[in-house]
Amino acid sequence: MGNEMQQFKADFFKALAHPLRIGILELLSEGEKSVNEIQSNLNKEGSAVSQQLSVLRSKNIVVGTKDGKRVLYSLRDPMIVDLLAVAKRIFNNHLIDTISMLVELDETECESTVKDGQVK
């Protein structure tokens, strides 16, 4: 049973593992949108958007609702918004850690340069 859940999670995250899909999800977190609206907002070709929406639909991450001749897409589960926010916080934490490391390295390098009496 554990392996099945791990596989489900892996497949779910694979479905998110594309920049355009993330862009689509971020856009849909604002509310439902048609393919044309998504395409226009993300400045991407309709075929690329449709292809990525198909992947997201196949993993039940987004749903499409017919509205006359067009289909409006929305997030299947509003918790996707929370997931994206947590991912952004994790990314920001990593970025802060990296910046801190670079500052520390720079300070150490400056200290050793001053000790050696060299100016670069």
> pLDDT tens for residues 67-92?
899 999 999 999 999 999 999 999 88
pTM of structure: 0.77
* 71 and 84 assigned to the same domain: no
* 107 and 59 assigned to the same domain: no
* 46 and 67 assigned to the same domain: yes
Is the pLDDT assigned to residue 116 strictly greater than 80?
no
* 82 and 72 assigned to the same domain: no
Count: domains in the chain: 2
- Helix 2-16 crosses helix 46-58 at what angle (to 10 degrees)? 170
Question: What pLDDT was estimated at residue 89?
Answer: 92
Q: What angle do CA 49, 13, 30 make, to 5 degrees?
A: 50
* 57 and 68 assigned to the same domain: yes
Question: What pLDDT was estimated at residue 108?
Answer: 76
Q: How does the average pLDDT of the chain come out, rounded? A: 88
Domain extent, residue 116, equals: 78-120
* 43 and 83 assigned to the same domain: no
pLDDT, average across residues 94-107: 81
**CATH code of residue 13:** 1.10.10.10
